[in-house]
Chain A
Amino acid sequence: MAPSMTCDAAGELIALAALGVLDADDGAVLDRHIAVCARCRASALMAQRTAAALPESLDLLEAPAGLRRRLLTAVYSSAGPVQPRRRTLRDVWRRVPRSRILTALAPLAIGAATVLGVWSLTRTDSAQVETFPVQASTSLPTARGVLTFYVTRSHSVLTVAGVPTPATPGQLPNVYEIWLIPSNGGPKPVAFLSPSPSGGDWTAVVSGDLRGYRTLAATIEPPGGEAKPTGPEIFSIPLS
Protein backbone atom coordinates (compact mmCIF):
# COMPACT_ATOMS: atom_id res chain seq x y z
CA MET A 1 0.00 0.00 0.00
CA ALA A 2 1.38 3.42 -0.94
CA PRO A 3 1.68 6.12 1.67
CA SER A 4 -1.59 8.13 1.71
CA MET A 5 0.13 11.52 2.16
CA THR A 6 3.52 13.10 1.58
CA CYS A 7 6.19 12.88 4.24
CA ASP A 8 6.24 16.67 4.40
CA ALA A 9 2.55 16.84 5.22
CA ALA A 10 2.97 13.98 7.68
CA GLY A 11 5.73 15.94 9.41
CA GLU A 12 3.30 18.74 10.27
CA LEU A 13 0.71 16.33 11.59
CA ILE A 14 3.31 14.44 13.62
CA ALA A 15 4.28 17.62 15.47
CA LEU A 16 0.63 18.44 16.20
CA ALA A 17 -0.02 14.88 17.35
CA ALA A 18 2.99 14.90 19.66
CA LEU A 19 1.60 17.98 21.41
CA GLY A 20 -1.87 16.41 21.62
CA VAL A 21 -3.71 18.84 19.33
CA LEU A 22 -4.32 16.73 16.26
CA ASP A 23 -7.96 15.91 15.61
CA ALA A 24 -9.06 12.31 15.19
CA ASP A 25 -9.70 12.50 11.41
CA ASP A 26 -6.22 13.79 10.62
CA GLY A 27 -4.89 11.29 13.15
CA ALA A 28 -6.38 8.41 11.17
CA VAL A 29 -4.69 9.67 7.97
CA LEU A 30 -1.39 10.00 9.83
CA ASP A 31 -1.72 6.48 11.25
CA ARG A 32 -2.09 5.08 7.75
CA HIS A 33 0.99 6.94 6.58
CA ILE A 34 3.32 6.02 9.43
CA ALA A 35 2.20 2.40 9.19
CA VAL A 36 3.95 2.21 5.81
CA CYS A 37 6.68 4.88 6.12
CA ALA A 38 9.59 3.91 8.37
CA ARG A 39 11.13 7.38 8.15
CA CYS A 40 8.00 9.14 9.37
CA ARG A 41 7.49 6.49 12.04
CA ALA A 42 10.96 7.28 13.34
CA SER A 43 10.17 11.02 13.23
CA ALA A 44 6.94 10.41 15.13
CA LEU A 45 8.77 8.46 17.80
CA MET A 46 11.27 11.30 18.19
CA ALA A 47 8.53 13.92 18.34
CA GLN A 48 6.66 11.89 20.92
CA ARG A 49 9.76 11.54 23.08
CA THR A 50 10.57 15.24 22.77
CA ALA A 51 7.06 16.23 23.86
CA ALA A 52 7.27 13.77 26.74
CA ALA A 53 10.22 15.78 28.08
CA LEU A 54 8.10 18.94 28.48
CA PRO A 55 6.72 18.10 31.96
CA GLU A 56 10.32 17.85 33.10
CA SER A 57 10.55 21.65 32.75
CA LEU A 58 8.16 22.21 35.66
CA ASP A 59 9.31 23.11 39.15
CA LEU A 60 7.71 20.43 41.28
CA LEU A 61 5.00 21.44 43.74
CA GLU A 62 4.16 19.61 46.94
CA ALA A 63 0.94 17.64 46.57
CA PRO A 64 -1.50 18.09 49.48
CA ALA A 65 -1.07 15.42 52.17
CA GLY A 66 -4.83 14.90 52.31
CA LEU A 67 -4.79 13.83 48.66
CA ARG A 68 -2.42 10.95 49.37
CA ARG A 69 -4.47 9.92 52.38
CA ARG A 70 -7.73 9.91 50.41
CA LEU A 71 -6.24 8.00 47.50
CA LEU A 72 -4.66 5.32 49.65
CA THR A 73 -7.84 4.96 51.66
CA ALA A 74 -9.84 4.45 48.46
CA VAL A 75 -7.32 2.00 47.04
CA TYR A 76 -6.84 -0.06 50.20
CA SER A 77 -10.62 -0.12 50.70
CA SER A 78 -11.23 -1.47 47.20
CA ALA A 79 -8.37 -3.96 47.08
CA GLY A 80 -8.93 -7.63 47.64
CA PRO A 81 -6.10 -10.05 48.26
CA VAL A 82 -3.31 -9.60 45.68
CA GLN A 83 -4.18 -11.74 42.69
CA PRO A 84 -1.67 -14.50 41.94
CA ARG A 85 0.06 -13.93 38.63
CA ARG A 86 -1.08 -16.34 35.94
CA ARG A 87 1.52 -18.98 35.26
CA THR A 88 2.65 -19.06 31.63
CA LEU A 89 4.11 -21.94 29.66
CA ARG A 90 7.39 -20.04 29.68
CA ASP A 91 7.40 -20.04 33.49
CA VAL A 92 6.90 -23.80 33.48
CA TRP A 93 9.58 -24.32 30.80
CA ARG A 94 12.11 -22.34 32.82
CA ARG A 95 11.61 -24.77 35.67
CA VAL A 96 12.38 -27.88 33.61
CA PRO A 97 15.70 -29.17 35.00
CA ARG A 98 18.58 -29.75 32.60
CA SER A 99 20.69 -32.33 34.39
CA ARG A 100 19.93 -36.03 33.92
CA ILE A 101 19.21 -36.70 37.59
CA LEU A 102 16.85 -33.81 37.79
CA THR A 103 15.34 -34.80 34.46
CA ALA A 104 14.64 -38.24 35.89
CA LEU A 105 12.94 -36.58 38.83
CA ALA A 106 11.02 -34.25 36.58
CA PRO A 107 7.70 -36.14 36.65
CA LEU A 108 7.76 -36.13 40.45
CA ALA A 109 8.71 -32.46 40.51
CA ILE A 110 5.97 -31.59 38.06
CA GLY A 111 3.45 -33.58 40.10
CA ALA A 112 4.46 -31.83 43.29
CA ALA A 113 4.47 -28.46 41.55
CA THR A 114 0.97 -29.13 40.24
CA VAL A 115 -0.31 -29.90 43.73
CA LEU A 116 1.39 -26.80 45.12
CA GLY A 117 0.16 -24.67 42.21
CA VAL A 118 -3.43 -25.76 42.65
CA TRP A 119 -3.15 -25.14 46.38
CA SER A 120 -1.68 -21.65 45.92
CA LEU A 121 -4.24 -20.69 43.28
CA THR A 122 -7.26 -21.96 45.18
CA ARG A 123 -6.48 -21.03 48.77
CA THR A 124 -8.03 -17.85 50.10
CA ASP A 125 -6.61 -15.22 52.35
CA SER A 126 -9.61 -15.35 54.68
CA ALA A 127 -7.43 -16.53 57.54
CA GLN A 128 -5.28 -13.44 57.00
CA VAL A 129 -8.13 -10.97 57.40
CA GLU A 130 -9.78 -10.05 60.69
CA THR A 131 -12.80 -7.78 61.06
CA PHE A 132 -13.95 -5.81 64.10
CA PRO A 133 -17.32 -3.98 64.36
CA VAL A 134 -17.66 -0.35 65.39
CA GLN A 135 -19.34 0.29 68.75
CA ALA A 136 -21.09 3.67 68.74
CA SER A 137 -20.85 5.91 71.80
CA THR A 138 -23.61 7.98 73.35
CA SER A 139 -22.15 11.13 71.79
CA LEU A 140 -22.73 9.69 68.26
CA PRO A 141 -25.14 6.75 68.45
CA THR A 142 -25.59 6.64 64.64
CA ALA A 143 -21.99 5.58 63.98
CA ARG A 144 -21.66 2.10 62.49
CA GLY A 145 -18.99 0.37 60.48
CA VAL A 146 -16.18 -2.12 60.47
CA LEU A 147 -12.42 -2.28 60.77
CA THR A 148 -10.75 -4.78 58.43
CA PHE A 149 -7.25 -5.84 59.46
CA TYR A 150 -5.11 -7.35 56.68
CA VAL A 151 -2.75 -9.34 58.86
CA THR A 152 -0.05 -10.16 56.32
CA ARG A 153 0.06 -6.58 55.07
CA SER A 154 -0.12 -4.99 58.53
CA HIS A 155 -2.65 -2.52 57.18
CA SER A 156 -6.22 -1.93 58.33
CA VAL A 157 -9.06 -0.14 56.61
CA LEU A 158 -11.73 1.50 58.73
CA THR A 159 -15.07 2.26 57.08
CA VAL A 160 -17.71 4.13 59.07
CA ALA A 161 -21.18 5.43 58.19
CA GLY A 162 -23.59 7.63 60.12
CA VAL A 163 -20.93 10.22 60.83
CA PRO A 164 -21.76 13.88 60.12
CA THR A 165 -19.29 16.46 58.81
CA PRO A 166 -17.50 17.86 61.87
CA ALA A 167 -18.22 21.40 63.02
CA THR A 168 -16.11 24.30 61.73
CA PRO A 169 -15.42 26.53 64.73
CA GLY A 170 -12.97 28.78 62.83
CA GLN A 171 -11.70 28.75 59.26
CA LEU A 172 -10.99 25.02 59.24
CA PRO A 173 -13.23 22.13 60.28
CA ASN A 174 -12.53 19.91 63.26
CA VAL A 175 -11.22 16.44 62.49
CA TYR A 176 -12.05 12.88 63.48
CA GLU A 177 -8.79 11.51 64.85
CA ILE A 178 -8.18 7.77 65.21
CA TRP A 179 -6.25 6.33 68.17
CA LEU A 180 -4.83 2.93 68.97
CA ILE A 181 -4.87 2.16 72.69
CA PRO A 182 -2.34 -0.47 73.82
CA SER A 183 -2.85 -2.84 76.70
CA ASN A 184 -0.34 -0.78 78.63
CA GLY A 185 0.25 2.89 77.91
CA GLY A 186 -1.53 5.88 76.45
CA PRO A 187 -3.42 6.28 73.14
CA LYS A 188 -1.33 6.61 69.98
CA PRO A 189 -2.61 8.88 67.15
CA VAL A 190 -2.64 6.84 63.94
CA ALA A 191 -4.96 8.40 61.33
CA PHE A 192 -7.79 10.77 60.50
CA LEU A 193 -11.16 9.82 59.08
CA SER A 194 -11.67 11.15 55.55
CA PRO A 195 -14.91 11.33 53.61
CA SER A 196 -14.93 8.56 51.02
CA PRO A 197 -14.49 9.83 47.42
CA SER A 198 -17.69 7.96 46.54
CA GLY A 199 -19.61 9.81 49.29
CA GLY A 200 -21.51 8.58 52.34
CA ASP A 201 -18.87 6.65 54.22
CA TRP A 202 -15.84 7.85 56.09
CA THR A 203 -12.65 5.87 55.85
CA ALA A 204 -9.15 5.70 57.27
CA VAL A 205 -6.12 3.53 56.63
CA VAL A 206 -4.24 2.45 59.74
CA SER A 207 -0.71 1.20 59.14
CA GLY A 208 0.90 -1.33 61.43
CA ASP A 209 0.12 -4.51 63.31
CA LEU A 210 -3.01 -4.25 65.49
CA ARG A 211 -1.98 -7.14 67.69
CA GLY A 212 -0.82 -5.72 71.00
CA TYR A 213 -3.55 -3.07 71.05
CA ARG A 214 -6.78 -3.52 72.96
CA THR A 215 -8.95 -0.78 71.41
CA LEU A 216 -9.19 1.56 68.44
CA ALA A 217 -11.10 4.76 69.19
CA ALA A 218 -12.14 7.96 67.38
CA THR A 219 -12.47 11.40 68.91
CA ILE A 220 -13.33 14.88 67.66
CA GLU A 221 -10.25 17.09 67.70
CA PRO A 222 -9.36 20.61 66.55
CA PRO A 223 -8.03 21.14 62.96
CA GLY A 224 -4.73 19.33 62.48
CA GLY A 225 -5.41 16.89 65.30
CA GLU A 226 -3.83 16.50 68.71
CA ALA A 227 -1.02 14.37 70.14
CA LYS A 228 -3.36 13.15 72.90
CA PRO A 229 -7.17 12.86 72.87
CA THR A 230 -8.90 16.03 74.04
CA GLY A 231 -12.40 15.78 72.52
CA PRO A 232 -15.34 13.46 72.99
CA GLU A 233 -15.10 9.86 71.83
CA ILE A 234 -17.51 9.13 68.96
CA PHE A 235 -16.96 5.39 68.71
CA SER A 236 -14.59 2.63 69.72
CA ILE A 237 -13.64 -0.82 68.43
CA PRO A 238 -12.53 -3.53 70.85
CA LEU A 239 -9.67 -5.44 69.22
CA SER A 240 -9.67 -8.51 71.38
Chain B
Amino acid sequence: MSALTASPPQAASVPAPTRARARRRLHIPLLLAPFALLFVIAFVAPLVYGLVLSLFRERFTGLGWNGSHLAFAGFHDYARALQDSRFLDGLGRVLLYAVIDVPLMLAVSLVLALLLDSALTTARRFFQALLLLPHFVPGLIAALIWVYLYTPGLSPLTSWLGDIGLHVNFFSSGSVLGSIVNISLWQWIGYNSVLLYVALQSVSPSVLEAARLDGAGEIRTALSIKVPHIRPALVVSGLFTIIGSLQLFTEPKILQGSAGSTVTASWTPNLLAFSEAFNSNDYSYAAAVSLLLAAVAGVLSLLAMKLVGRVDRSSQEADS
Protein backbone atom coordinates (compact mmCIF):
# COMPACT_ATOMS: atom_id res chain seq x y z
CA MET B 1 0.00 0.00 0.00
CA SER B 2 2.93 2.30 0.49
CA ALA B 3 3.23 2.31 -3.30
CA LEU B 4 -0.07 4.20 -3.49
CA THR B 5 1.10 7.02 -1.24
CA ALA B 6 4.34 7.26 -3.19
CA SER B 7 2.56 7.87 -6.48
CA PRO B 8 3.63 11.07 -8.23
CA PRO B 9 1.24 14.03 -8.36
CA GLN B 10 0.35 13.73 -12.05
CA ALA B 11 -1.91 10.81 -11.24
CA ALA B 12 -3.76 12.69 -8.53
CA SER B 13 -6.53 13.86 -10.84
CA VAL B 14 -7.48 10.31 -11.80
CA PRO B 15 -10.62 9.64 -9.79
CA ALA B 16 -10.54 6.90 -7.22
CA PRO B 17 -12.03 3.74 -8.63
CA THR B 18 -15.67 3.26 -7.79
CA ARG B 19 -16.84 -0.18 -6.87
CA ALA B 20 -18.36 -0.70 -10.32
CA ARG B 21 -15.09 0.26 -11.99
CA ALA B 22 -13.04 -1.84 -9.59
CA ARG B 23 -14.75 -4.90 -11.01
CA ARG B 24 -13.63 -3.85 -14.46
CA ARG B 25 -9.98 -3.29 -13.62
CA LEU B 26 -8.92 -6.15 -15.83
CA HIS B 27 -7.52 -3.62 -18.33
CA ILE B 28 -4.49 -2.93 -16.11
CA PRO B 29 -3.08 -6.48 -16.27
CA LEU B 30 -4.09 -6.65 -19.94
CA LEU B 31 -2.17 -3.50 -20.82
CA LEU B 32 0.84 -4.62 -18.82
CA ALA B 33 0.82 -8.21 -20.06
CA PRO B 34 2.75 -7.91 -23.35
CA PHE B 35 5.66 -6.08 -21.77
CA ALA B 36 5.57 -8.26 -18.66
CA LEU B 37 5.80 -11.37 -20.81
CA LEU B 38 8.79 -10.02 -22.76
CA PHE B 39 10.44 -8.78 -19.56
CA VAL B 40 10.07 -12.15 -17.86
CA ILE B 41 11.52 -14.01 -20.86
CA ALA B 42 14.38 -11.58 -21.49
CA PHE B 43 15.36 -10.55 -17.94
CA VAL B 44 13.76 -12.48 -15.08
CA ALA B 45 13.92 -16.00 -16.49
CA PRO B 46 17.58 -15.92 -17.62
CA LEU B 47 18.62 -14.38 -14.29
CA VAL B 48 16.77 -17.05 -12.31
CA TYR B 49 17.83 -19.86 -14.63
CA GLY B 50 21.43 -18.65 -14.61
CA LEU B 51 21.33 -18.52 -10.81
CA VAL B 52 19.94 -22.05 -10.59
CA LEU B 53 22.51 -23.34 -13.08
CA SER B 54 25.35 -21.74 -11.18
CA LEU B 55 24.16 -23.05 -7.81
CA PHE B 56 23.38 -26.62 -8.86
CA ARG B 57 25.52 -29.20 -10.55
CA GLU B 58 24.69 -32.27 -12.49
CA ARG B 59 25.65 -35.26 -10.38
CA PHE B 60 25.93 -38.70 -11.85
CA THR B 61 24.94 -41.58 -9.66
CA GLY B 62 27.13 -44.62 -9.60
CA LEU B 63 28.95 -44.95 -12.88
CA GLY B 64 26.56 -42.61 -14.61
CA TRP B 65 24.40 -45.39 -16.02
CA ASN B 66 21.44 -44.40 -13.89
CA GLY B 67 21.29 -40.89 -15.30
CA SER B 68 21.96 -37.72 -13.44
CA HIS B 69 20.24 -35.44 -11.00
CA LEU B 70 20.76 -31.85 -9.98
CA ALA B 71 22.47 -31.41 -6.65
CA PHE B 72 23.01 -28.20 -4.74
CA ALA B 73 26.61 -27.18 -5.23
CA GLY B 74 26.44 -23.96 -3.25
CA PHE B 75 28.45 -20.96 -4.24
CA HIS B 76 31.28 -23.08 -5.52
CA ASP B 77 31.32 -21.44 -8.95
CA TYR B 78 31.25 -17.96 -7.48
CA ALA B 79 34.09 -18.78 -5.11
CA ARG B 80 35.96 -20.23 -8.05
CA ALA B 81 35.41 -17.07 -10.14
CA LEU B 82 36.59 -14.86 -7.28
CA GLN B 83 39.83 -16.88 -7.14
CA ASP B 84 40.21 -17.23 -10.89
CA SER B 85 42.97 -14.91 -12.00
CA ARG B 86 41.48 -14.85 -15.52
CA PHE B 87 38.19 -13.43 -14.17
CA LEU B 88 39.89 -11.00 -11.78
CA ASP B 89 42.35 -9.78 -14.41
CA GLY B 90 39.51 -9.34 -16.89
CA LEU B 91 37.45 -7.44 -14.35
CA GLY B 92 40.44 -5.26 -13.50
CA ARG B 93 40.93 -4.59 -17.21
CA VAL B 94 37.33 -3.44 -17.83
CA LEU B 95 37.43 -1.34 -14.65
CA LEU B 96 40.64 0.31 -15.83
CA TYR B 97 38.99 0.77 -19.20
CA ALA B 98 35.97 2.40 -17.49
CA VAL B 99 38.24 4.67 -15.44
CA ILE B 100 39.85 5.94 -18.67
CA ASP B 101 36.78 5.87 -20.90
CA VAL B 102 34.06 7.41 -18.71
CA PRO B 103 35.81 10.69 -17.68
CA LEU B 104 37.22 11.20 -21.20
CA MET B 105 33.84 10.57 -22.76
CA LEU B 106 32.00 12.92 -20.41
CA ALA B 107 34.63 15.69 -20.58
CA VAL B 108 34.88 15.75 -24.38
CA SER B 109 31.12 15.44 -24.82
CA LEU B 110 30.50 18.23 -22.35
CA VAL B 111 33.00 20.56 -24.02
CA LEU B 112 31.48 19.88 -27.45
CA ALA B 113 27.94 20.37 -26.11
CA LEU B 114 28.89 23.69 -24.50
CA LEU B 115 30.62 24.83 -27.70
CA LEU B 116 27.53 23.89 -29.70
CA ASP B 117 25.37 25.80 -27.23
CA SER B 118 27.51 28.91 -26.94
CA ALA B 119 26.57 31.76 -29.21
CA LEU B 120 29.82 31.26 -31.06
CA THR B 121 29.06 28.17 -33.06
CA THR B 122 27.36 28.55 -36.38
CA ALA B 123 25.92 25.70 -38.44
CA ARG B 124 24.76 23.85 -35.33
CA ARG B 125 22.35 21.50 -37.07
CA PHE B 126 24.92 20.40 -39.60
CA PHE B 127 27.47 19.82 -36.90
CA GLN B 128 25.10 17.80 -34.74
CA ALA B 129 24.19 15.58 -37.67
CA LEU B 130 27.89 15.10 -38.42
CA LEU B 131 28.71 14.17 -34.82
CA LEU B 132 25.81 11.71 -34.65
CA LEU B 133 26.94 9.75 -37.73
CA PRO B 134 29.07 7.17 -35.85
CA HIS B 135 26.08 6.32 -33.64
CA PHE B 136 24.50 4.75 -36.72
CA VAL B 137 27.50 2.59 -37.48
CA PRO B 138 26.99 -0.79 -35.77
CA GLY B 139 29.57 -1.46 -33.04
CA LEU B 140 31.01 -4.41 -34.88
CA ILE B 141 31.45 -2.41 -38.08
CA ALA B 142 33.08 0.44 -36.16
CA ALA B 143 35.52 -2.00 -34.61
CA LEU B 144 36.29 -3.54 -38.01
CA ILE B 145 36.91 -0.14 -39.64
CA TRP B 146 39.17 1.02 -36.83
CA VAL B 147 41.16 -2.22 -36.87
CA TYR B 148 41.75 -1.61 -40.59
CA LEU B 149 42.83 1.95 -39.77
CA TYR B 150 45.18 0.62 -37.08
CA THR B 151 46.73 -1.89 -39.50
CA PRO B 152 49.92 -0.40 -41.00
CA GLY B 153 49.51 -1.84 -44.52
CA LEU B 154 45.85 -0.92 -44.86
CA SER B 155 45.88 2.68 -43.75
CA PRO B 156 48.46 5.45 -43.58
CA LEU B 157 47.46 6.29 -39.98
CA THR B 158 50.50 4.67 -38.32
CA SER B 159 52.92 6.19 -40.81
CA TRP B 160 51.33 9.63 -40.37
CA LEU B 161 51.76 9.30 -36.62
CA GLY B 162 55.30 8.08 -37.24
CA ASP B 163 56.00 11.21 -39.27
CA ILE B 164 55.19 13.41 -36.27
CA GLY B 165 57.33 11.25 -34.02
CA LEU B 166 54.64 8.99 -32.55
CA HIS B 167 55.62 5.42 -33.22
CA VAL B 168 52.59 3.45 -32.11
CA ASN B 169 51.70 -0.14 -32.54
CA PHE B 170 47.97 -0.13 -31.87
CA PHE B 171 48.01 -3.88 -31.21
CA SER B 172 50.82 -4.05 -28.65
CA SER B 173 49.98 -5.09 -25.11
CA GLY B 174 50.58 -1.58 -23.82
CA SER B 175 48.32 0.21 -26.26
CA VAL B 176 45.49 -2.19 -27.05
CA LEU B 177 43.30 -0.80 -24.25
CA GLY B 178 43.84 2.72 -25.60
CA SER B 179 42.95 1.52 -29.09
CA ILE B 180 39.63 0.23 -27.74
CA VAL B 181 38.96 3.43 -25.78
CA ASN B 182 39.41 5.31 -29.06
CA ILE B 183 36.83 3.15 -30.83
CA SER B 184 34.34 3.71 -28.02
CA LEU B 185 34.98 7.47 -27.98
CA TRP B 186 34.50 7.66 -31.74
CA GLN B 187 31.19 5.82 -31.51
CA TRP B 188 29.66 7.58 -28.55
CA ILE B 189 31.04 11.13 -28.22
CA GLY B 190 28.61 12.50 -30.79
CA TYR B 191 25.63 10.79 -29.23
CA ASN B 192 26.54 11.98 -25.74
CA SER B 193 27.31 15.54 -26.78
CA VAL B 194 24.02 15.89 -28.67
CA LEU B 195 22.22 14.45 -25.63
CA LEU B 196 23.90 17.04 -23.40
CA TYR B 197 23.33 19.81 -25.95
CA VAL B 198 19.61 19.06 -26.07
CA ALA B 199 19.52 19.17 -22.28
CA LEU B 200 21.25 22.58 -22.38
CA GLN B 201 18.36 23.95 -24.45
CA SER B 202 16.14 23.88 -21.37
CA VAL B 203 18.26 26.40 -19.46
CA SER B 204 15.96 29.38 -19.20
CA PRO B 205 17.11 32.31 -21.37
CA SER B 206 16.24 34.78 -18.60
CA VAL B 207 18.69 33.10 -16.23
CA LEU B 208 21.42 33.30 -18.87
CA GLU B 209 20.53 36.93 -19.53
CA ALA B 210 20.71 37.69 -15.80
CA ALA B 211 24.14 36.06 -15.60
CA ARG B 212 25.31 38.11 -18.56
CA LEU B 213 24.03 41.31 -16.99
CA ASP B 214 25.89 40.40 -13.83
CA GLY B 215 29.04 40.31 -15.89
CA ALA B 216 29.57 36.57 -16.17
CA GLY B 217 31.51 35.58 -19.26
CA GLU B 218 30.78 32.64 -21.51
CA ILE B 219 33.00 30.27 -19.52
CA ARG B 220 31.78 31.40 -16.12
CA THR B 221 28.17 31.00 -17.29
CA ALA B 222 28.95 27.53 -18.56
CA LEU B 223 30.54 26.41 -15.30
CA SER B 224 28.13 27.91 -12.78
CA ILE B 225 24.81 27.76 -14.61
CA LYS B 226 24.82 25.40 -17.57
CA VAL B 227 26.80 22.46 -16.13
CA PRO B 228 24.82 22.27 -12.86
CA HIS B 229 21.58 22.51 -14.84
CA ILE B 230 22.33 19.47 -16.99
CA ARG B 231 23.64 17.30 -14.17
CA PRO B 232 20.81 14.75 -14.64
CA ALA B 233 21.74 14.32 -18.30
CA LEU B 234 25.40 13.95 -17.32
CA VAL B 235 24.40 11.22 -14.87
CA VAL B 236 22.47 9.38 -17.58
CA SER B 237 25.41 9.62 -19.99
CA GLY B 238 27.87 8.48 -17.35
CA LEU B 239 25.67 5.63 -16.21
CA PHE B 240 25.24 4.19 -19.69
CA THR B 241 28.94 4.62 -20.39
CA ILE B 242 29.84 2.70 -17.21
CA ILE B 243 27.41 -0.11 -18.01
CA GLY B 244 28.76 -0.24 -21.56
CA SER B 245 32.37 -0.33 -20.36
CA LEU B 246 31.86 -3.40 -18.21
CA GLN B 247 30.23 -5.26 -21.08
CA LEU B 248 33.27 -4.87 -23.29
CA PHE B 249 33.14 -7.72 -25.80
CA THR B 250 32.78 -6.80 -29.47
CA GLU B 251 35.90 -4.64 -29.88
CA PRO B 252 38.32 -7.05 -28.15
CA LYS B 253 36.70 -9.93 -30.05
CA ILE B 254 37.57 -8.19 -33.33
CA LEU B 255 41.02 -7.14 -32.10
CA GLN B 256 41.81 -10.78 -31.32
CA GLY B 257 42.35 -11.22 -35.05
CA SER B 258 45.17 -8.68 -35.13
CA ALA B 259 46.44 -8.79 -31.58
CA GLY B 260 45.72 -12.38 -30.70
CA SER B 261 48.68 -12.80 -28.41
CA THR B 262 47.61 -9.79 -26.34
CA VAL B 263 43.84 -10.11 -26.38
CA THR B 264 43.35 -13.57 -24.91
CA ALA B 265 40.13 -15.59 -24.84
CA SER B 266 39.50 -14.36 -21.29
CA TRP B 267 40.58 -10.75 -21.79
CA THR B 268 37.27 -9.36 -20.44
CA PRO B 269 34.65 -11.06 -18.22
CA ASN B 270 32.23 -11.30 -21.18
CA LEU B 271 34.89 -12.96 -23.33
CA LEU B 272 35.58 -15.36 -20.46
CA ALA B 273 31.88 -16.21 -20.08
CA PHE B 274 31.62 -16.74 -23.84
CA SER B 275 34.62 -19.04 -24.05
CA GLU B 276 33.63 -20.97 -20.91
CA ALA B 277 30.17 -21.55 -22.39
CA PHE B 278 31.08 -22.32 -26.00
CA ASN B 279 34.66 -23.59 -25.92
CA SER B 280 34.78 -25.38 -22.58
CA ASN B 281 31.04 -26.13 -22.31
CA ASP B 282 31.21 -25.21 -18.62
CA TYR B 283 27.74 -23.67 -18.52
CA SER B 284 27.41 -23.27 -14.78
CA TYR B 285 30.72 -21.42 -14.54
CA ALA B 286 29.78 -19.23 -17.53
CA ALA B 287 26.49 -18.38 -15.83
CA ALA B 288 28.28 -17.53 -12.58
CA VAL B 289 30.71 -15.20 -14.39
CA SER B 290 27.83 -13.49 -16.25
CA LEU B 291 25.81 -12.95 -13.10
CA LEU B 292 28.81 -11.66 -11.16
CA LEU B 293 29.41 -9.14 -13.93
CA ALA B 294 25.75 -8.08 -13.90
CA ALA B 295 25.97 -7.64 -10.13
CA VAL B 296 29.13 -5.51 -10.37
CA ALA B 297 27.49 -3.34 -13.06
CA GLY B 298 24.36 -2.89 -10.95
CA VAL B 299 26.30 -1.97 -7.81
CA LEU B 300 28.53 0.50 -9.69
CA SER B 301 25.53 2.19 -11.33
CA LEU B 302 23.78 2.51 -7.97
CA LEU B 303 26.93 3.93 -6.38
CA ALA B 304 27.28 6.45 -9.20
CA MET B 305 23.67 7.57 -8.75
CA LYS B 306 24.02 7.82 -4.96
CA LEU B 307 27.28 9.74 -5.25
CA VAL B 308 25.85 12.27 -7.68
CA GLY B 309 22.74 12.58 -5.50
CA ARG B 310 24.91 13.45 -2.50
CA VAL B 311 26.95 15.99 -4.45
CA ASP B 312 23.65 17.47 -5.64
CA ARG B 313 22.32 17.83 -2.14
CA SER B 314 25.49 19.28 -0.65
CA SER B 315 25.80 21.82 -3.45
CA GLN B 316 22.21 22.85 -2.87
CA GLU B 317 22.94 23.32 0.81
CA ALA B 318 25.96 25.39 -0.05
CA ASP B 319 23.82 27.54 -2.33
CA SER B 320 21.21 28.33 0.33
Whether A and B are associated in the same complex: the answer reads: no
Binding site for A on B (CB under 8 A): none
